[in-house]
Structure 1
């Protein structure tokens, strides 16, 4: 399998070696930004028990919120596919955009003009400083994958990690079916 270049729009997949890290165990992260000095991403497969309305009471919206990562967990972030409706959106890749005008977003949500398949919300984000992520990849904490999901906003998160390992093949197939908690085995 060819090596995938580290860049925004790609996915970071947690290696089985970091199963003991509660923040990143079985995580799949969408990279929203990757520059020489830093990298930002959002965990796609860790839903929380919150809706947008739970966190922002003046927004009438019951869309799920996901754990974006351990950084700034008191802030709400979002990726979407509606840049024509949200000024200041930043393109990540392939029709995926990050952020934008929150006042416009609140109005769209309160008017019921968005579907959950248009947007995904995250509490916090994942972040790395210069060289940190590259070192973690060398230490086998992550592998980089193409974002071959048809729509990151409608993913069934339950088997995402397992399916990415099966897709990678080789020894990863063995890890794909390992129990989430080895202590229960």
Structure 2
């Protein structure tokens, strides 16, 4: 198995051949990764549910689109939020990588209001047990790329998979043109 250092703060971009419907064409921000496993959120799966319907106090801070995102197939009844905050960050925010951090949804939104650029709320998360992610990486299911702060709050999440691939300075950029259904070519 390939030895992989912590991927926290990096993106997992689904390979075109990844057949799991939970992750087809997904972009996952890894929040935690160690010997016990990994945890992340899918950044490009918006739901039709407005943030105001489930977390009304946070709706004013939610970026466009102001909906809840499906963060992954695990614990869909639990919510977590990410926000980009320059500098040290306020109470109620924990840095994941760079200016990207987790928001404590139990904190009063007013504490973060002045410092949060935009907030994204996720229902559920993606999780991997010990060495599970490493096995999927060895199989070629995911590409590991650097994240950018804008990935967390992109207003058109349906284009994120292609956009992240397109910005790579390698052969991965060519995959951005991979057709949705290659059998139609």
TM-score bucket of the superposed structures, by smaller chain: 0.7 to 0.9
Aligned length: 173
Structure 1 contact 6–144 (Cα < 8 Å) conserved? no
Post-superposition Cα deviations, 1:17-58, rounded to whole Å, max 9, x if no partner, equal: 20x3211011111111111112110111111111112223x5
Q: Name 2:59's counterpart in structure 1.
A: 61
For 1:151, the equivalent position in structure 2 comes to 150
Q: Structure 1 length normalisation: TM-score?
A: 0.79
**In 2, Cα distance between the equivalents of 1:115 and 1:52?**
19
Give the TM-score normalised by structure 2. Answer: 0.79
* CA pair 103-134 structure 1, distance change in 2 beyond 3 A: same
Q: Which residue, 89, 99, 104 being the options, matches 1:100?
A: 104
Q: Distance in 2 between matches of 1:39 and 1:131?
A: 9
Matching residue of 2:17: 17
Aligned to 1:78: 81
Residues 159/116 of structure 1: CA separation in 2 closer, same or farther (3 Å cut): farther
Cα distance, 1:182 vs structure 2: 5.0
* 1:110-125 equivalence runs, <5 A: 113=113, 117-125=117-125
- The 8 Å contact of residues 79 and 121 in structure 1, kept in 2 or not, is answered as yes
Residues 114-149 of structure 1: CA distance to partner in whole angstroms, max 9, x if unpaired? 6984211101000111100000000011011011x2
Q: After superposition, what is the alpha-carbon deviation per residue over 1:86-135, rounded to whole angstroms, capped at 9, x for unaligned? A: 43x33211011113251423x569xxx46984211101000111100000
The structure-2 alpha-carbon separation of the partners of 1:137 and 1:168, relative to structure 1 and needing over 3 Å to count, comes to: farther
What is the distance in 2 between the residues matched to 1:114 and 1:74?
A: 28
The 3-state SS of whatever aligns with 2:151 is coil
- Cα distance change of structure 1 residues 132 and 78 upon mapping to structure 2, 3 Å threshold: same
Unaligned 5+ segments in structure 2 are 61-65
Deviations 1:41-92 (A, max 9, x none): 0111111111112223x536263211100000011111113574443x3321
* Counterparts of residues 30-69 of structure 1 (less than 5 Å): 30-56=29-55, 58-59=56-57, 61=59, 63-69=66-72
